[in-house]
Amino acid sequence: MDSGRLGTGHGGRLTGGYDGAALVTQEGLVADLRAGRMEPRVLGEDLITTAAFGPDGSRLAVGDVLGRVTLWDGTARVRLGVLDGTTSDPTTDTTGAVTALAFSHDGRTLAVAGSAGGLQLWDPASQRLLGTTLPTQGDEIRALAFGADGSLHASGTHVPEQRYDLNPHHLITEVCERAGSGLSESVWKTYLPDLPYRRTC
């Protein structure tokens, strides 16, 4: 078989582009389905474990065995940067290979799961980590997906589906309910003296 033609001889997981015109294999083969050709590319910093296209096809994220995530343009030809991925959070020891990736529906958030059970959110544009590692059951996460309401869903072989409500308004309401009240003016002046006071709850 011509090494450039599409075929079924290559194993591994496949990741398709948003318009069905592109395909990436776990071995780093990039297929142009319209042209019917496939070519090998070095897409990760090490052995590729998983990949995901952004919702509009303008970005491709590729995870590797060392926990890093390489960002590409939608054609997988222009490298946009490398995220520390599962190795980036100093507050946790949950590192390891990237096991699942998912872009939010607006493409502004990338969820990254690791083999040690870690789950993080990244801003692909600034390539910055958003907060700290999300709480999980500690088992390997194998699948990630964002819901229509912006929530994040995660699951694995031994992990029942977990739902994370990422809506800022919902999170603020939950924090206020748990705290019972917002910051008083005196507490605000103690910890935020350079900012004008405003009600937080």
Helix, strand, coil percentages, rounded to 5, for the chain = 10, 35, 55
Task: Classify 174 as helix, strand or coil.
Answer: helix
Which has the higher per-residue pLDDT, 167 or 77? 77
Per the CB < 8 A criterion, the answer to whether 113 and 152 are in contact is no
Whether the per-residue pLDDT at 15 is higher than 90: the answer is no
What is the per-residue pLDDT across 95-147, written as a single tens digit (0 to 9) for each?
688 999 999 999 999 999 988 888 999 999 999 998 888 888 778 888 999 99
Nearest CA among 157, 82, 163 for reference residue 117: 157
DSSP β-ladder status, 69-73 and 48-53: unpaired
Please report, for the chain, the start and end positions of each structural domain, with discontinuous segments joined by +. Answer: 14-165, 167-201
Which has the higher per-residue pLDDT, 12 or 75? 75
> What is the assigned CATH class of domain 14-165?
mainly beta
User: What integer pLDDT is reported at residue 13 of this predicted model?
Assistant: 57
What is the per-residue pLDDT across 41-99, written as a single tens digit (0 to 9) for each?
778 778 888 889 898 888 999 999 889 999 998 888 889 999 987 766 555 554 688 99
Q: What is the pTM of this model?
A: 0.73
Copy the structure tokens of residue 194.
């350079």
Torsion region of 131: left, alpha or beta (phi above 0 gives left; psi -120 to 50 gives alpha): left
